[in-house]
Amino acid sequence: MPERQVTDRAVMLDVLRAGRVAHVGVVDAEGQPRVIPVAYGVDGDDAIILHGATSSQLFRALAAGAPVCVTVTMLDGLVVANSSFNSSMNYRCVIVFGRADVVAEEEKERVLERLSEHLFPEHGSTFRPLQAQELKATTVVRVPLTEMSMKSRDFGADDAEDNDPQRWSGVLPIHSQFGEPIPGDHVQVPTPEHIRHWRP
């Protein structure tokens, strides 16, 4: 498939900063890969933040230093070519390889605030503070952005060797949007203005 290797670190960081869910791969004791969607954040420009229940299989593996792959993909469009062979997707995909570093107890709160700011921008002061037992039940890890690669495709279906004007070909752009916010039944305050600015 025609696609482009991207080497500009700033572009990769833009993709990581724009996403909310990564597909995280680890290998289990039998050599079976396991790929699980996980909400993530970015810590400055040097690490992905992941968090989960300390008791979970995934976070026990990460805390034990298992090799991990963190993949963030944005699907931008469906590319319909003259042939199914040349049809494709437009996308941006960043893949991070490495091992996770466990965030120490005294650093957890700061790193979880960064994660929260990534997932729910400007909402930090609206959340009730974290409780000690919540912090204790949560494993927080940082996956360093050292081994990182990106591929993307962002062009049309035109293929000079295979363009039949009588066949339709082209791109269907894909957009993700938020619907109207649905407040909880008990909520007696209006939707905060900053939430209206969030991007999906």
35-64 positions binding its own copies, by CB under 8 A: 35-37, 39, 52-53
Residue 168 to residue 160: CA distance in whole angstroms: 14
Residue 152 near its own copies by CB under 8 A? no
Residue 116 near its own copies by CB under 8 A? yes
Do 27 and 34 meet the contact criterion of CB atoms below 8 Å apart? yes
Strand order in the sheet with 101-102: 4-6, 147-153, 88-99, 67-80, 21-27, 33-43, 47-53, 138-144, 101-102
Structure tokens at 163: 């363009």
Closest alpha carbon to 22 in 109, 123, 99, 95 = 95
| Closer to its own copies by Cβ: residue 43 or 88 | 88
Q: Which of residues 60-89 bind its own copies (CB under 8 A)?
A: 67-71, 73, 75, 78, 80, 82-85, 87-89
| Closer to its own copies by Cβ: residue 44 or 165 | 165
Closest alpha carbon to 86 in 158, 151, 167 = 158
Residue 181 near its own copies by CB under 8 A? yes
Question: Site size for its own copies, by CB under 8 A?
Answer: 91
Tell which one of 63, 97, 101, 144 touches its own copies (CB under 8 A): 97
Q: Which residues pair with 36 in a beta bridge?
A: 24
**Minimum Å distance from CB 144 to its own copies?**
15
Q: Which of residues 7-26 bind its own copies (CB under 8 A)?
A: 20-21, 23-26
Residue 177 near its own copies by CB under 8 A? yes
